C-alpha cells in the first residue's frame, strides 16, 4: 500500500529530530558487539576463497596453470571463467567487464579466478602458486596517453552555451593552463567482503558489505543464471564505504557465489588490504586544459574547458561520474559563454568507480584553480573575485545545464563566514608574516560549495520502507538504504519516532534485506535520508492515520483532533498510552504495519544533452583554511579551519557535524597526502598504508570550528533537512587553494602550477616553478 503524493501535516509533537541522539549502533560498536560480515558465525563446512591476480597490465591470457596450487594443504578447488553458469560478463550498465579474465588481462590486479580452501591463509598462499601464461601487449597507464590514443570507455560528451571562443577572444584578459588531479583510495576500515550461503532449491543468501544490495542481488543472479527472486542479499552495516562499495562489492559477492556453487559449500571471500588496493577502483584521476577570458574585476566572460577522466579498463560508473563533474564545473559561479568537453579515457589500470562527491570534486577544483589564478593575475583578493562570479538573480541564475538556481544563499553564507572567521584581518596578518619569514610561508583561502542533491539518473530517486508496530509499543523499521557509519539508520529512527509521537528508544532498525524492500537504489548521492527517511515517514504516517481514525471513531471526534506525542495519544476527553492504543487497535483488527514509498519530485534530465533539472535542490557551504609551508622541504600543515555549512534543519546535529568533519578531513587527504602512483609497468606502487598516507589525528588542526547555517531547506524535504554526506568533502578545496596562496607568496609569481595532491614533492616543484 503506497502513500499518496501529498500528506497533511502530522498531528504530532517532534521530540526526536533536531536532537543529537547517539548513533543507533554506537554502544555496540564501542563494545565490539556490532556484527560485520566477517564477524558472522560461519556455518559448518564454510570454505574461504582468495583471488588469482594478473601481474601484467595488458596482455593475452594464454593459460592458467593451477597444478601446484591444487597440491597445497586444504585446497578444495579453483574457480575460473569456464565455471560461470550464467553470463561471463558482469551485469553492469556498459556490459564491458568480465567476471574473471577470459582471454586477456587489462590491469595488474585483475582477477583471473579464485582458489578455494579450508582456511583464509591456505587459500591466499595457494592463489600465489597459480602460474599465468600471459603474452604482454602495449599498456596505457596515463590519461594524457589515452587521450592521444583516443582510448575511451565511453564516447566524449560536450556541453556548450553561447559563443565561448568569441567571448574569450574579446575579453580584456585571458589565461590558459593545465592541471592534473590525482585519484584516491577509499580506505574503508572494513575491507571488501562477501559470504555466499547456498540454500535449498537453488536459492541463495548473500551477506555483503555493500551500499547497493539490490545491485548485488541482480549481479549474482545474472552470473548464476537465475532469477532475482532466487537471491537474497542482506547488509546490517558496513565499516565504511565512501562509494567504494557501490559497485565494487558486487564483484566479491559474485565471486563468492560462483565458488559456493562449484563446491556446494558456503564460501567467504575477504580481500586483504594489499589485494583490496590492487583489485578495486579508486576516485577518478582527472586532467584538465582550459582557456578563460575575464574582465578587470575578475568576472569570467568566456570559458573553454577540457576534462579527461582516467576511467581505468572498464566503464563501471565512469559515465555518471564524468557527467556530475561536468554539472559541477560551475560550483558556485555563473558561466555564461562556456564549452565543456568531457573525455572518459580507457587505461590499463583498475576500473575507477564512485567516491564521495562522485565527480563533483573533480569538476569544482579546476574552476577554483582558475579563479585563484585570475585573482593573482589581477592583483586582487581571491575571495573578492569569487564573490564577483557568484550566481545572482535574474539573468545570472541559470546553470550551464539549464537548471535555475532558486535557493541561492551563497552571498549571505560566505559573507557570514568571512565575518565570523576574521578573514580580512587574518589575510593582512599573514601578509605581514610572509614579509618577515624567509622559510615558513603561510596562505589562506575561502572557497564555497554548491552541490546538487539527487541521483542524476532520475529513476534511482525512489525508495521504499516498512514500519511494523507491535502490541507492546515497540516499532521496527526496515528500508532500502544501507548504514556505513553515516548515521542513516539513526536519522530514520528519529523520523519514525516523531511521526508516531513516541520516544526515540522505542524504534529499532533491521538489516537491509532485498526480500523486504525490493529494487532499492544505492545508498549514494547523499540521498540516503532524503529518500529512505521520507519513505519510512510515509509508512509510519499511514499507521498513525489508521490509528487516528480508530481513536476518532471511539471518541466521536475528527482524526485531526487526535494528537500523538510523548508516548501518549490524546483526543477530546481521553488520553491513552501508545502501548494501550496498539493493544486495543490490534484487538479491533486494525492494521499495525505499513509500507511507504517516495519518489523525488520536480527532477528531470536529458542524458543526451546533459540538460534539465537533475537536482531537487542544492546544498551550500564555505570553508576558510589557513596553512603553512616549509619552502625548504615542501612540507605543509593545516593551521586553522572555519566552516559554515548548510544542512537545512538538522535532524541530528551531532551526526551532521561529524559528517562535515569527516568529509573535510577526507577531502584534505585527497588534496595533500593521498597519492596513488602507478609505475611504468602499470603496477600500483602505493598499495598499503606504508606508502599510501591518509590523514592522521595529528593532521587535524586544533582550530577546527564548524557552524551550521540556520535556515530550513526551502524544498519539501524530510524534516526541512538537507543532505550532508558529500558536500563537506569539497570544502577541503580551501586547503589546496590556501597552499597555492602560500606558494605564490613564496615565489612572488602570479601563476602557480601545483598539481594535486599537494605532497611535499609537488609543493617543492611548485616553488621551483
32, pLDDT greater than 50: yes
Q: How far apart are CA 260 and CA 205, in angstroms?
A: 11
For Cα atoms 517, 584, 564, give the angle at the middle one, nearest 5 degrees. 70
582, pLDDT greater than 60: yes
**Confidence band (pLDDT; 50, 70, 90) for 449?**
very high
Q: How far, in Å, are 538, 717, 761 from residue 454 at the CA level?
A: 19, 12, 38
Q: What is the pLDDT of residues 310-348, one digit of tens each?
A: 999 999 999 999 999 999 999 999 999 999 999 999 999
Terminal CA-CA length for the chain: 65
Q: What is the pLDDT of residues 472-520, one digit of tens each?
A: 999 999 999 999 999 999 999 999 999 999 999 999 999 999 999 999 9
**Confidence band (pLDDT; 50, 70, 90) for 126?**
very high
On whether the CB atoms of residues 694 and 187 are closer than 8 A, the answer is yes
Q: What is the pLDDT of residues 241-274, one digit of tens each?
A: 999 999 999 999 999 999 999 999 999 999 999 9
User: What integer pLDDT is reported at residue 12 of this predicted model?
Assistant: 52
Q: How far apart are CA 258 and CA 256, in angstroms?
A: 5
What is the average pLDDT across 605-617?
93
Q: What is the pLDDT of residues 268-313, one digit of tens each?
A: 999 999 999 999 999 999 999 999 999 999 999 999 999 999 999 9
Instruction: Spell out the SS3 assignment of 708-726.
Output: ECCCCCCCCCHHHECCCCC
Percent of the chain with pLDDT over 70: 98
726 catalytic, yes or no? yes
Residues contacting residue 454 through CB under 8 Å, at least 6 positions apart:
461, 525, 527, 600, 603, 614, 615, 616
User: What integer pLDDT is reported at residue 608 of this predicted model?
Assistant: 87
Kindly give the pairing relationship between strand 512-513 and strand 231-235: antiparallel
User: What integer pLDDT is reported at residue 692 of this predicted model?
Assistant: 98
Q: How far apart are CA 194 and CA 209, in angstroms?
A: 6
What is the average pLDDT across 741-747?
98
Q: What is the pLDDT of residues 383-416, one digit of tens each?
A: 999 999 999 977 899 999 999 999 999 999 999 9
User: What integer pLDDT is reported at residue 393 of this predicted model?
Assistant: 72
Q: What is the chain's mean pLDDT, rounded?
A: 96
Q: What is the pLDDT of residues 354-385, one digit of tens each?
A: 999 999 999 999 999 999 999 999 999 999 99
4, pLDDT greater than 60: no
Q: How far apart are CA 510 and CA 476, in angstroms?
A: 7
User: What integer pLDDT is reported at residue 102 of this predicted model?
Assistant: 98
> ω before 757 within 30° of 0 (cis)?
yes
Cell of 386: 569569487
**Confidence band (pLDDT; 50, 70, 90) for 2?**
very low
Q: How far apart are CA 322 and CA 72, in angstroms?
A: 45
User: What integer pLDDT is reported at residue 14 of this predicted model?
Assistant: 60
DSSP letter at 33? -
> How many residues would you count in the chain?
769
Catalytic residue among 234, 339, 674, 726: 726
**Residue 399 phi, psi dihedral angles, 5° rounding:** -75, 170
Closest CA to 108 of 750, 645, 683, 757: 683
Q: What does 89-147 look like in DSSP terms, one character per residue?
A: B---SS---BSS--SEE-STT-EEEEEEESSHHHHHHHHTT-EEEEEE-----SHHHHH
User: What integer pLDDT is reported at residue 9 of this predicted model?
Assistant: 42
Closest CA to 565 of 579, 552, 578, 584: 578
| Residue 77 CA, distance from chain mean position | 37
6, pLDDT greater than 80: no
Q: What is the pLDDT of residues 42-84, one digit of tens each?
A: 999 999 999 999 999 999 999 999 999 999 999 999 999 999 9
Q: How far apart are CA 105 and CA 139, in angstroms?
A: 11
Q: How far apart are CA 479 and CA 491, in angstroms?
A: 12
pTM value? 0.96
8, pLDDT greater than 90: no
542, pLDDT greater than 60: yes
User: What integer pLDDT is reported at residue 607 of this predicted model?
Assistant: 86
Q: What is the pLDDT of residues 643-657, one digit of tens each?
A: 999 999 999 999 999
427, pLDDT greater than 50: yes
What is the average pLDDT across 6-32?
79
Q: What does 349-416 look like in DSSP terms, one character per residue?
A: S------TTTTHHHHHHHHHHHHHHHHHHHT--HHHHHHHHB--SGGG-B-TTS-B--S--HHHHHHH
Q: What is the pLDDT of residues 183-226, one digit of tens each?
A: 999 999 999 999 999 999 999 999 999 999 999 999 999 999 99
Percent of the chain with pLDDT over 90: 97
On whether the CB atoms of residues 529 and 453 are closer than 8 A, the answer is no
10, pLDDT greater than 50: no
Q: How far apart are CA 129 and CA 167, in angstroms?
A: 62
Cell of 504: 526515540
Amino acid at each position: 500500500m503506497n502513500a499518496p503524493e501529498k500528506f497533511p501535516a502530522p498531528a504530532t509533537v517532534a521530540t526526536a529530530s533536531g536532537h543529537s541522539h547517539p548513533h543507533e549502533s554506537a554502544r555496540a560498536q564501542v563494545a565490539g558487539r556490532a556484527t560485520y560480515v566477517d564477524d558472522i558465525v560461519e556455518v559448518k563446512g564454510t570454505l574461504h576463497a582468495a583471488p588469482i591476480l594478473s601481474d601484467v597490465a595488458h596482455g593475452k591470457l594464454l593459460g592458467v596453470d593451477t597444478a601446484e596450487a591444487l597440491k597445497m594443504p586444504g585446497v578444495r578447488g579453483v574457480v575460473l571463467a569456464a565455471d560461470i553458469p550464467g553470463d561471463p560478463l558482469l551485469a553492469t550498465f556498459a556490459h564491458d567487464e568480465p567476471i574473471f579474465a577470459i582471454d586477456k588481462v587489462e590491469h595488474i590486479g585483475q582477477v583471473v579466478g579464485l582458489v578455494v580452501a579450508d582456511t583464509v591463509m591456505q587459500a591466499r598462499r595457494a592463489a600465489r602458486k597459480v602460474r599465468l601464461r600471459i603474452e604482454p601487449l602495449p599498456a596505457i597507464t596515463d590519461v594524457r596517453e589515452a587521450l592521444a590514443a583516443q582510448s575511451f570507455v565511453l564516447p566524449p560528451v560536450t556541453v556548450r552555451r553561447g559563443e565561448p571562443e568569441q567571448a574569450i577572444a574579446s575579453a580584456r584578459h585571458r589565461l590558459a593552463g593545465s592541471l592534473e588531479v590525482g585519484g584516491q583510495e577509499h580506505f574503508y576500515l572494513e575491507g571488501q567482503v562477501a559470504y555466499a550461503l547456498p540454500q535449498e532449491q537453488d536459492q541463495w543468501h548473500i551477506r555483503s558489505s555493500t551500499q547497493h544490495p539490490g545491485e548485488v542481488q541482480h549481479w549474482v543472479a545474472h552470473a548464476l543464471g537465475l532469477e532475482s527472486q532466487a537471491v537474497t542479499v542482506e547488509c546490517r552495516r558496513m565499516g565504511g564505504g565512501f562509494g567504494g562499495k557501490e559497485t565494487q562489492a558486487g564483484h566479491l559477492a559474485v565471486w563468492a557465489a560462483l565458488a559456493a556453487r562449484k563446491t556446494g559449500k558456503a564460501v567467504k571471500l575477504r580481500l586483504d588490504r594489499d589485494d583490496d588496493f590492487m583489485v578495486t577502483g579508486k576516485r577518478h584521476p582527472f586532467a584538465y586544459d582550459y582557456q578563460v577570458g575575464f574582465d578587470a574585476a575578475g568576472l569570467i566572460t568566456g570559458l573553454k574547458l577540457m576534462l579527461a577522466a582516467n576511467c581505468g579498463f572498464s566503464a563501471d560508473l565512469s559515465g555518471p561520474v564524468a557527467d556530475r563533474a561536468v554539472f559541477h564545473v560551475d560550483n558556485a559561479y555563473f558561466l555564461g559563454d562556456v564549452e565543456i568537453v568531457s573525455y572518459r579515457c580507457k587505461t590499463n589500470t583498475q576500473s575507477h568507480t564512485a567516491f564521495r562527491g562522485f565527480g563533483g570534486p573533480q569538476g569544482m577544483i579546476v574552476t577554483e584553480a582558475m579563479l585563484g589564478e585570475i585573482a593573482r593575475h589581477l592583483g586582487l583578493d581571491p575571495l573578492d573575485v569569487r564573490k564577483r562570479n557568484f550566481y545572482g538573480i535574474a539573468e545570472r541564475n541559470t546553470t550551464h545545464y539549464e537548471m535555475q538556481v532558486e535557493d541561492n544563499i551563497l552571498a549571505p553564507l560566505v559573507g557570514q563566514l568571512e565575518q565570523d572567521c576574521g578573514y580580512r584581518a587574518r589575510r593582512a596578518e599573514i601578509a605581514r608574516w610572509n614579509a618577515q619569514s624567509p622559510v615558513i610561508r603561510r596562505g589562506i583561502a575561502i572557497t564555497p560549495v554548491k552541490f546538487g542533491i539527487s541521483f542524476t539518473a532520475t529513476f534511482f530517486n525512489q525508495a521504499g520502507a516498512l514500519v511494523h508496530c507491535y502490541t507492546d509499543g515497540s516499532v521496527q523499521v526496515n528500508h532500502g538504504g544501507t548504514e556505513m557509519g553515516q548515521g542513516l539508520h539513526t536519522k530514520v529512527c528519529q523520523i519514525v519516532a516523531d511521526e508516531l509521537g513516541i520516544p526515540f528508544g522505542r524504534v529499532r532498525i533491521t538489516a537491509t534485506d532485498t526480500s523486504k524492500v525490493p529494487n532499492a537504489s544505492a545508498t549514494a548521492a547523499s540521498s540516503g535520508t532524503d529518500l529512505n527517511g521520507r519513505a519510512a515517514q510515509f509508512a509510519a504516517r499511514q499507521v498513525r492515520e489508521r490509528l487516528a481514525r480508530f481513536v476518532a471513531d471511539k471518541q466521536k471526534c475528527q482524526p485531526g483532533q487526535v494528537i500523538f506525542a510523548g508516548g501518549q495519544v490524546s483526543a477530546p476527553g481521553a488520553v491513552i498510552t501508545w502501548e494501550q492504543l496498539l493493544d486495543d487497535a490490534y484487538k479491533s483488527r486494525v492494521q499495525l504495519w505499513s509500507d511507504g514509498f517516495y519518489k523525488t519530485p520536480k527532477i528531470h534530465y536529458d542524458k543526451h544533452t546533459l540538460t534539465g533539472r537533475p537536482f531537487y535542490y542544492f546544498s551550500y557551504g564555505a570553508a576558510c583554511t589557513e596553512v603553512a609551508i616549509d619552502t625548504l622541504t615542501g612540507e605543509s600543515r593545516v593551521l586553522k579551519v572555519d566552516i559554515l555549512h548548510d544542512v537545512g534543519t538538522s535532524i541530528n546535529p551531532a551526526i551532521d557535524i561529524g559528517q562535515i568533519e569527516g568529509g573535510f578531513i577526507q577531502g584534505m587527504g585527497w588534496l595533500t597526502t593521498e597519492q596513488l602512483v602507478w609505475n611504468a609497468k602499470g603496477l600500483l606502487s602505493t598499495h598499503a598504508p606504508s606508502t599510501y598516507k591518509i590523514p592522521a589525528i595529528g593532521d587535524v588542526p586544533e582550530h577546527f570550528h564548524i557552524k551550521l547555517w540556520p535556515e530550513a531547506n526551502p524544498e519539501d524535504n524530510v524534516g526541512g533537512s538537507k543532505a550532508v554526506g558529500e558536500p563537506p568533502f569539497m570544502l577541503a578545496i580551501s586547503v589546496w587553494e590556501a597552499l597555492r596562496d602560500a606558494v605564490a607568496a613564496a615565489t612572488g609569481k602570479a601563476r602557480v602550477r601545483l598539481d594535486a595532491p599537494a605532497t611535499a614533492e609537488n609543493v617543492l616543484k611548485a616553488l621551483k616553478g
